[in-house]
Amino acid sequence: MESSPFDAWITNDDELVSLLGQEWQRQTSTLQLIASENFASPAVMAATGSVLTNKYAEGYPGRRYYGGNQIVDEVEDLARRRLTALFGADHANVQPHSGANANVAVYQALLETGDTILAMRLDQGGHLTHGSPASMTSKAWHFVSYGVTPRNDDPENPGEHIDFDNVRDLALEHRPKLIVAGATAYARRIDPAPFREIADEVGALLMFDSAHVAGLIAGGAHPNPVPYADVVTFTTHKTLRGPRGGAILARAEYAKKIDSAVFPGQQGGPLENTIAAKAVSFREAALPSFSTYAEQIVANARAFATALADHGFRLVSGGTENHMVLLDLRDFDAELTGKEAQEVLDRAGITTNRNTIPDDPRSPFITSGLRVGTAAQTTAGMREREFTQVADLMARALRGRADEATVSAVRADVAELCASFNPYATFVR
Ligand SMILES: *Cc1c(COP(=O)(O)O)cnc(C)c1O
């Protein structure tokens, strides 16, 4: 396929062209360290901008409500086939518009409103859809929350790992109908086996929310939850490096319920252009080069964490086993909040997000933590050496934050580093 034949048309719209140009510049001249972001391939972006955006396709392949869906059916089937093969699952639903939609659809499919769900607490690393008071999920279902073990200064046993005794005790006490594994700010591997054991012990279903680590699973750098979980949800745009969206994998016995919960339960017409882009990314994730990519993401995070610790940042949970590093800023500088660190780094051309850390004394708007990830800049070709440099740049900007000249000098060094790492250079046509 030619990359978009319609690109030239955008040039009629000066205001938007200017904004797109500015955003291109921002993405390629500053460091993208947000753990949930990535650079999608030109093929993924071309499919997202394809003619499939024109088609209404309510329903599923072979069971559509409108005509003209013969080809769209093949597109969606292709995406589903590639996805079930990638993870070894019975059934795939590729229609969720986002990870949040995928999670809510699963709750709707498997539970009655008011049923009990056991999931990770937001301030311990869980996601909003795991029962945060701010999310509608907490109004429709009854959530009980588990957390991580207490912080420990013994390097052999650093604490802040998922507390499986806590998970089991709460499961026995509250008899949840569903247990949710998976997190949004947690730097450790999440072993699905103990979750399955506990779910079996109390007769609960198990959902694994692998939004962050889906790409690591596809690339063999994180355990695959599919053999253990009844349902696996994920986003397609984080480590998996596809278009923005969600997907659900399910055991055959839940396939029908899941499909009905997504449509008509939650959503209207699917975004078949996005589904085509998902199909592109599932094919890319099945290539041997994607395993190399996933391994490099993890190796980079390890090197990044070591270099950051050398600069005096405390690593929450004592380190990392995935693409993410969660920093407690208080040891580096007791006065520095997550909010201020994010703002200073933004001025230095380093894009991150503030994050609560377990038992954070500061509010979720201020925080004592910072979350960084390696997936995007690894796509751009950076390796351990560059991530060590990035840690130096971060420490320099934050230590010298009162001096605008220091921050500007870091920004110039960041731009120079980024100039050698084009995010799209590693994609072959
Ligand atoms: C990102 C994320 C989601 C939600 O994904 P959206 O596409 O932003 O709705 C759900 N669960 C977890 C664990 C996540 O990290």
CATH number of the domain encompassing residue 340: 3.90.1150.10
Q: Indicate the residue among 251, 268, 285 that finishes a domain.
A: 285
* Ligand 1 contacts CB of residue 129 (under 6 A): yes
Q: Which protein residue's CA is at the shortest distance from atom 1 of ligand 1?
A: 211
From the candidates 28, 58, 251, 347, give the one annotated as an active-site residue: 58
Catalytic status, residue 238:
yes
Which tens digits make up the pLDDT trace of 358-376?
999 999 999 999 999 999 9
Q: How far is the CA of 118 from the centre of ligand 1 (A)?
A: 17
Is residue 3 predicted with pLDDT exceeding 70? no
pLDDT of res. 17? 87
Catalytic status, residue 66:
no
Mean pLDDT of 410-416: 98
pLDDT of res. 313? 98
Is residue 4 predicted with pLDDT exceeding 60? no
Q: Indicate the residue among 222, 250, 285 that finishes a domain.
A: 285
Is residue 9 predicted with pLDDT exceeding 80? no
Do 87 and 187 lie in one domain? The reply is yes
Is residue 396 predicted with pLDDT exceeding 60? yes
Do 333 and 320 lie in one domain? The reply is yes
Which tens digits make up the pLDDT trace of 42-86?
999 999 999 999 999 999 999 999 999 999 999 999 999 999 999
Per-chain mean pLDDT for the chain: 96
E strand residue ranges, 8-98: 31-32, 59-60, 63-64, 91-93
- pLDDT class for 6, splitting at 50, 70, 90? low
194 part of a folded domain: yes
Is residue 178 predicted with pLDDT exceeding 80? yes
Report the number of distinct structural domains present in the chain: 2
Exposure letters 281-290 (e unless 16+ CB within 10 A, then b): bbbbbeeeeb
333 part of a folded domain: yes
Q: Is 53 helix (H, G, I), strand (E, B) or coil?
A: helix
Q: Which protein residue's CA is at the shortest distance from atom 15 of ligand 1?
A: 184
* Ligand 1 contacts CB of residue 130 (under 6 A): no
Is residue 212 predicted with pLDDT exceeding 70? yes
* Ligand 1 contacts CB of residue 132 (under 6 A): no
Q: Which protein residue's CA is at the shortest distance from atom 10 of ligand 1?
A: 99
Which tens digits make up the pLDDT trace of 108-124?
999 999 999 999 999 89
Catalytic status, residue 23:
no
Structural domain span for residue 250:
48-285
* Ligand 1 contacts CB of residue 212 (under 6 A): yes
- pLDDT class for 153, splitting at 50, 70, 90? confident
SS (H, E, C) 226-278: CCCCCEEEEECCCCCCCCCCEEEEECHHHHHHHHHHHHHHHCCCCCHHHHHHH
Is residue 415 predicted with pLDDT exceeding 50? yes
